[in-house]
Amino acid sequence: MSDSEFKNEMLTFAELLNKYNAANLLSIMNDLRFPIVPELQNWIVKNIVPKFNEAKLKKQAIVVHSYLISQMSMEQTIDDVEKSKSRASIQIF
Residue 6 · residue 43 · CB < 8 Å:
no
pLDDT in tens, 28-87: 887 777 778 889 888 988 998 888 888 888 888 888 766 544 556 666 666 766 667 666
Contacts of 28 (CB under 8 A, 6+ apart): 63
Residue 52 · residue 88 · CB < 8 Å:
yes
pLDDT tier at 92, thresholds 50, 70, 90: low
Separation between Cα atoms, residue 36 and residue 42, nearest integer Å: 10
Query: 0.85 cut: is pTM over it?
Result: no
Separation between Cα atoms, residue 78 and residue 92, nearest integer Å: 9
Residue 65 · residue 32 · CB < 8 Å:
yes
pLDDT in tens, 18-39: 899 888 888 888 777 777 888 9
Query: How many CB atoms are located within 10 Å of the residue 42 CB?
Result: 13
